[in-house]
Amino acid sequence: MLLKMSISSSILIILIAVLRLAAINRLPKKVFVLLWDIAILRLLVPFDLPIHYGLASPVAKIANSSISQYHPANSSTIISPKRPIIDTITSSLSGITWTKIVWATGMVVFLVVFGTLYRKEYQRIRTALPVSKEHDNYFRSKVTIPNHVKLLTSDRISTPLTYGVLSPKIILPKIYKLSDSTKIKYILTHELIHIKRLDNLWKIIILTAVSVHWFNPFVWIMYSFFNRDIELSCDERVVALLGESAKKEYAMTLADLAEKQYLWSSISNGFGKNAIQERIMAIMKFKKATCINIGCTAVLLAGAVTVFASFKVADNNLGITPKNHIADDKKNYFEKAENADDEYVQHGITVINGTYYYQGVRTRIFMDLRENKSFETFCFDKEGTVDVQITRSKDNSIKKIEYLTEEETNEILSDFKDSDLDERSNR
């Protein structure tokens, strides 16, 4: 599921990046933020929507086709019906385990790094002190500030910023002059928009997504663009609230504050940040949204949501057909087992909704081996009660069907962990 989430999100990230390049000054900046939000949620939410086609579906089909080409399900890998089968499967599962260990290690490392930066910055910011009552009244007279938003001042920052989620705070540099009431209005409005949109919370969420999908380069690209676009969107909203006549003065305020260095922040949003040229150009090119813009926004968001569509990623790394699939990359297993394979029926084997039954009894371990001992089908159903092995002749017809002995069954089960059996059973 993690791989599926990462693949589908990557497709959306690429499309958003291309759209951003082509229409960054033609569509509302909020559109790009919402698209990034959808991509972030796809990275973290392990659920699908009940739709069967989406943006990532074509890529999934290509991936599955490639896997089938290089790892055909009816591979001639020689596997005996006993221990060699288990050796092969166990070897592959061991590789998967090491892959998971590497991924988990990387995730923990990045979570620790980001957590350390978070704590370090929090300790720096928490030294900020409340502004004087006089200044507090002055600021609130310029902009309507909710009572739960606190105004602080600090000598450890050079530009205004906001931090906190449940208890948001706007921090102003201690050296900042209060003589220009217009600039103060712009600054406070900008920071209040960050608070209203919960941008600080989204920064934490995206850092979590980056930590989980650290191996995906597109996620890092998304992180870079996301931080820039929340500032562009915030600037756009300020101009929309204060009027287009404020564009020039607001851009000058932005340029003035951005001249002061602003350190990278993992938990806060500051007024003066990098990519200043892009922000000023976006402000000066600002235009009110039209009906066409709104319509395009609706279409883009609806299309982006389809990354949650259901699709399967092939898993044929063993050269063995996973459960619920036949050793034929052109036909669905259910179709062949239930509609085309009369030979199974003749030998007392039936398949109902992908579940194997022998002589009317649900099977637990079901193995179908070719005459040369190559593996055709292996399925494990934890709700089954009997263990069956099919042996085929040279012409691939069923030669005999026999129950596995208790010793053979125990040998197979002993090589699997319960979690591995559950995973195979749910395929």
Q: Domains in the chain: how many in total?
A: 2
Does residue 174 fall inside a structural domain? no
Q: 252 and 115, same structural domain?
A: yes
Is residue 271 a contact partner of residue 187, using CB atoms and an 8 Å limit? yes
* pLDDT, one tens digit for every residue, the chain (427 residues): 788 788 888 888 999 999 888 888 888 889 999 999 999 999 998 877 776 666 666 665 555 554 444 433 333 333 333 334 444 444 444 445 788 889 999 999 999 999 998 888 888 788 888 888 888 888 888 888 898 999 998 888 778 888 888 889 998 887 666 556 778 888 899 999 999 999 989 999 999 999 999 999 999 999 989 988 998 999 889 888 888 888 888 888 877 776 554 554 555 565 544 567 778 787 877 777 677 777 887 888 777 777 777 655 444 333 333 333 333 333 343 344 344 356 788 888 888 877 888 888 899 888 887 766 565 677 888 888 889 988 888 777 888 888 888 888 887 777 665 545 555 454 4
Does residue 87 fall inside a structural domain? yes
Domain residues for the domain of 383 are 333-425
Task: Give the per-residue pLDDT at 72.
Answer: 39
Write down which residue in 254, 274, 308 finishes a domain: 308
Closest CA to 8 of 210, 212, 310: 310
242-256 in b/e form (b: 16+ CB < 10 A) is: beeebbeebbebbee
Does residue 175 fall inside a structural domain? no
Distances (CA, A) of 206 to 48, 59, 162, 192: 20, 24, 18, 21
Task: Say how far apart CA 266 and CA 33 lie, in whole Å.
Answer: 17
For residue 97, the tally of other CB atoms under 10 A from its CB is 12
For residue 22, the tally of other CB atoms under 10 A from its CB is 10
Q: 241 and 376, same structural domain?
A: no
Cα angle value 348/412/403 (rounded, 5°): 25
Q: What is the pTM of this model?
A: 0.62
Q: State the distance between the two ends of the chain, measured CA to CA, in whole angstroms.
A: 11
Cβ neighbours of residue 141 closer than 8 Å, sequence gap 6 or more: none
Residue 416: HSE in the Cβ half-sphere, 13 Å Cα cutoff: 21
Q: 337 and 304, same structural domain?
A: no
Does residue 284 fall inside a structural domain? yes
Q: 304 and 337, same structural domain?
A: no
Does residue 96 fall inside a structural domain? yes
DSSP states of 114-166: HHHHHHHHHHHHTT-EEPPHHHHHHHHHHS---TTSEEEEESS-SS-EEE-SS
Write down which residue in 308, 341, 366 finishes a domain: 308
Does residue 162 fall inside a structural domain? no
Length of the chain: 427
Q: 363 and 303, same structural domain?
A: no
Digit-coded pLDDT (tens) for 319-362: 333 333 333 333 343 344 344 356 788 888 888 877 888 888 89
Q: 347 and 241, same structural domain?
A: no
Q: 404 and 304, same structural domain?
A: no
Does residue 230 fall inside a structural domain? yes
Q: 196 and 99, same structural domain?
A: yes
For residue 379, the tally of other CB atoms under 10 A from its CB is 23
Q: 192 and 82, same structural domain?
A: yes
The DSSP element (H or E) to which 376 belongs, if any, is strand 375-380
Q: 263 and 221, same structural domain?
A: yes
Does residue 393 fall inside a structural domain? yes
Task: Give the per-residue pLDDT at 109.
Answer: 96
Closest CA to 165 of 125, 198, 122: 198
Write down which residue in 267, 292, 308 finishes a domain: 308
At 323, list the tokens: 């459960």
What residue has token string 């399967």? Answer: 312
Q: 196 and 103, same structural domain?
A: yes
Task: Say how far apart CA 12 and CA 303 lie, in whole Å.
Answer: 9
Cβ neighbours of residue 384 closer than 8 Å, sequence gap 6 or more: 355, 356, 362, 363, 364, 365, 366
Q: 347 and 274, same structural domain?
A: no
Closest CA to 234 of 196, 183, 181, 289: 196
